[in-house]
Amino acid sequence: MQIMITHSGLSKTRTLTFSRPQLAMLAATVVATLLLLSGTVYHFVFLKAAQEGWPVVSQLVKLVVRDEFAQRDRFMRDNLDAMANKVGDLQARMIKLEVMGERLSGLAGVKADDLKALQPAGGATATGVGGKGGPFIPLDHPTTELLNQALQVLEQQADLRGDVFTLAESRLFESRLTALMVPNTRPVNAPLGSGFGFRADPFTGRPALHTGMDFAADVGATIVSAAGGVVSSIEMHPQYGQLLEIDHGNGLVTRYAHTSRILVKTGDLIKRGQEVALVGSTGRSTGPHLHFEVLLDGVPQNPARFLANGGQPAPANGPVAANAPARVNPAMSPQLAAPNVGRVVPAPAGEPSAGALAR
């Protein structure tokens, strides 16, 4: 780039030549000089004027600052309103979870005292649980303090709801586990030969107590476990023959007698419906069959009351209905004499009662 300089005092025209780097350097110098001058003017004029109270400059500064604070205030209010709406939505969802938790707790059998034990010190007021009411007094704009309080309450409610759901899950798991351990699966696919109760002894013809149910089946027919449990005993018994006992917990034990072969061993974990033995005629037996017993705390129970819960009620057979409670005569069966002999376990809630089954 060339710049020509002419003047009346000059005898000839002067020419200045600049390269591109020199032009860039010159432009940068000019810009830096302008910025420096602007900063100097701002510092010594506007700030000094504001400090010393120059009316015009002071008003200008106040307007700028006021507008800046107004923008910040609007931004904060908009954000607080958005947060308040979000908190309100969370509160509504928490109420739904609270109702759901109460229903689930009822289904799981969680008692009110159990729920009270989960609440922290301060009770319903601290967590927002319980009755609510009062006049509606709307706020134009929520404050950060109110939002923090609402968030703290929501956090406490969320923790409480989590504890309630955990407790309900635990109770439902226990109920499910208990149901799996109730011996209500028919142990063999065979007709009933003799039910629980008093009958004529097949060997002597004298009245005797039959402490189980006999299923007439061929030798080698598959016997399955009536419920999940643990094999507690395997033995050759003089009366029961080859005998298998499975412990289902909560005092419930099932016996599978007169078997020809046992397919499991002591200590094995057993699933409901698992093959555990084969039908035989060992021990005190007149022919191939399965003698099936259910004991609660060592006391013989009527297996039909359990099997009926599985949807397969055993038909009545013999002088005593299959679902009728038996009363033991200690003189006739001294080995069973005990205060609770003949006690019958009631059917679980929701299942047919003994009277309904009899009908």
Quick one: which of 282, 300, 304 has its CA closest to 337?
Answer: 300
Question: For residues 300 and 57, what is the distance between their CA atoms, to the nearest angstrom?
Answer: 104
| 272: pLDDT strictly greater than 70 | yes
Pairing of strands 241-249, 229-237: antiparallel
Across residues 85-91, what is the average pLDDT? Answer: 78
For 323, other C-beta atoms within 10 Å of its C-beta total 26
Look at residue 252 and tell me whether its pLDDT is greater than 80: yes
Mean pLDDT taken over the chain: 74
**Model confidence pLDDT, tens digit, residues 197-210:** 999 999 999 999 99
Alpha-carbon gap, residue 277 to 263, rounded angstroms: 5
Over residues 273-307, the pLDDT tens digits come to 999 999 999 999 999 999 999 999 999 999 988 88
The residue-averaged pLDDT of 182-204 equals: 91
Q: Among 50-54, 107-111, 223-227, name the one with the lowest average pLDDT.
A: 50-54
**Under 8 Å between Cβ of 90 and 155:** no
Residue 118 pLDDT: 60
pLDDT for the residue 64: 67
Position 49 scores a pLDDT of: 66
Residues listed for the chain: 359
Sorted by sequence, the CB contacts under 8 Å of residue 41 that are 6+ apart come out as none
What does the DSSP 8-state code read for residue 280? B
How much is the pTM?
0.49
DSSP of 287-335: SSEEEEEEEETTEEE-HHHHHGGGT-PPPP-SSS-TTSPP---TTT-GG
Question: Lowest mean pLDDT: which of 20-29, 98-107, 232-241?
Answer: 98-107
Position 23 confidence tier, pLDDT thresholds 50, 70, 90: confident
* Strand ranges in 197-305 using DSSP code E only, listed in sequence order: 197-200, 207-210, 213-216, 222-224, 229-237, 241-249, 252-262, 269-270, 275-279, 289-296, 299-301
Percent of the chain scored above 90 by pLDDT? Answer: 31
Is pLDDT at 251 greater than 70 in this prediction? Answer: yes
Instruction: Give the model's pLDDT for residue 28.
Output: 86
Lowest-pLDDT range, 36-40, 110-114, 128-132, 312-316?
312-316
Residue 17 sits at φ, ψ, to 5 deg, of -110, 130
The pLDDT, as a whole number, for residue 309 is: 44
Q: How far is CA 26 from CA 35, 36, 96, 162, in A?
A: 14, 15, 72, 71
Q: Are 193 and 185 in contact (CB under 8 A)?
A: no
CB atoms within 10 A of CB 70: 10
Measured CA to CA in angstroms, residue 243 lies from 22, 259, 264, 292 at distances of 110, 7, 12, 10
User: Are the C-beta atoms of residues 20 and 28 closer than 8 Å to each other?
Assistant: no
**Does position 270 have pLDDT exceeding 90, yes or no?**
yes
The predicted pLDDT at position 9 comes to 63
Can you tell me the distance from the alpha carbon of 198 to that of 211, in angstroms, rounded to the nearest whole number? 9
Residue pLDDT, tens place only, 146-156: 777 777 777 77
- Among the residue ranges 58-67, 93-102, 198-207, 267-276, the one predicted with the least confidence is 58-67
pLDDT of residue 213 exceeding 50, the answer is yes
Whether residue 271 contacts residue 228, with contact meaning beta carbons closer than 8 Å, is answered with: yes
Backbone phi, then psi, for 236, in 5-degree steps?
-100, 110
* Residue 308 in this model has a pLDDT that exceeds 50: yes
Maximum distance among all alpha carbons in the chain?
158
Q: How confident is the model at residue 94 (pLDDT cuts 50, 70, 90)?
A: confident
Q: Give tens-digit pLDDT for 105-140.
A: 777 777 666 655 566 555 444 444 456 666 655 555
pLDDT classification of 242: cutoffs 50, 70, 90: very high
Tens-place pLDDT, residues 64-78 = 667 777 777 777 777
